[in-house]
Structures are given as structure tokens and as C-alpha cells.
């Protein structure tokens, strides 16, 4: 799937397979790839509904295929390391749905 995005060079089309994670900052939504960050014209919850994407905390949705490592922490969170080395955390609120998604359940 391709979505419209923009960066410092102007407007472009972004393949969702290239997206590592999407995060919200204030009223803006950004997609991060291996190369750079893009501003999106859609909301975070729109990305969350797409196949291979799941919310891990209030402001971050990740591409599940870009997880390199996942490890539980003592504070009821899960630490994720993405293929580019970025470390993100699954918040307690989202752990149940995250585990269900990984084991083939619904979001």
C-alpha cells in the first residue's frame, strides 16, 4: 500500500512496507523509515487499522514485520528493538492486544 507523505524535499509517495513505525507529536503524524522521517496527512488510528501495524502505546504504531527483538521487562512493559536499532516500548495498556496479535489473535 502507498500513502501520501511529505518531507524536507516536498511531497512524495511512501510504501508502507518501508515504514518502521509511525508516531504522533502534537497534531502531526510522522512515519519513520530506515532513511528518514516523513509527515503524513492521516491520523494514527488510520495506520493502526492496517494489516501488519499495531499500536504499542498512546502515540506509536509499529510495523510488526520490522521487529528484530522483543524482551519483557520487570515493570510490565515489553522492550522492542527494530531492524534499524530503534528501541521502543509496549505500554502496559497495550500488552494484551500486542501478545494476542503476535499469537495470531485479533487486534
18 part of a folded domain:
yes
User: What pLDDT was estimated at residue 107?
Assistant: 60
107 part of a folded domain:
no
Mean pLDDT, residues 16-32:
97
Check which CATH number belongs to the domain holding 42 and give it.
2.40.50.1020
- Give the Cα separation of 77 and 95 in Å (integer): 7
What is the extent of the structural domain holding 57?
A: 2-102
pLDDT band at 41 (very low <50, low <70, confident <90, very high): very high
86 Cβ neighbours under 8 A, 6+ residues apart: 20, 21, 32
Q: Which residue has the cell 508516531?
A: 23
Other beta carbons within 10 angstroms of residue 23's beta carbon come to 19
**Nearest one of 3, 85, 80, 65 to 38, comparing CA atoms:** 3
Q: What digits encode the pLDDT tens for the residues 68-106?
A: 999 999 888 999 999 999 999 999 999 999 989 888 866
Predicted model pTM: 0.92
**Nearest one of 70, 66, 62, 72 to 84, comparing CA atoms:** 66
Total tally of structural domains belonging to the chain: 1
Mean pLDDT, residues 29-46:
96
26 part of a folded domain:
yes
Amino acid at each position: 500500500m502507498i500513502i501520501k507523505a511529505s518531507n524536507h524535499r516536498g511531497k512524495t509517495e511512501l510504501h508502507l512496507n518501508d515504514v518502521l513505525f509511525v508516531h504522533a507529536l502534537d497534531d502531526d503524524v510522522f512515519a519513520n523509515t530506515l532513511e528518514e522521517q516523513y509527515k503524513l496527512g492521516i491520523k494514527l488510528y488510520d495506520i493502526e487499522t492496517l494489516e501488519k501495524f499495531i499500536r504499542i502505546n498512546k502515540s506509536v504504531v509499529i510495523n510488526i514485520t520490522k521487529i528484530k527483538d522483543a524482551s519483557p521487562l520487570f515493570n510490565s512493559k515489553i522492550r522492542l528493538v527494530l531492524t534499524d536499532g530503534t528501541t521502543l516500548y509496549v505500554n502496559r495498556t497495550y500488552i494484551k492486544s500486542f501478545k494476542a496479535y503476535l499469537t495470531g489473535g485479533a487486534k
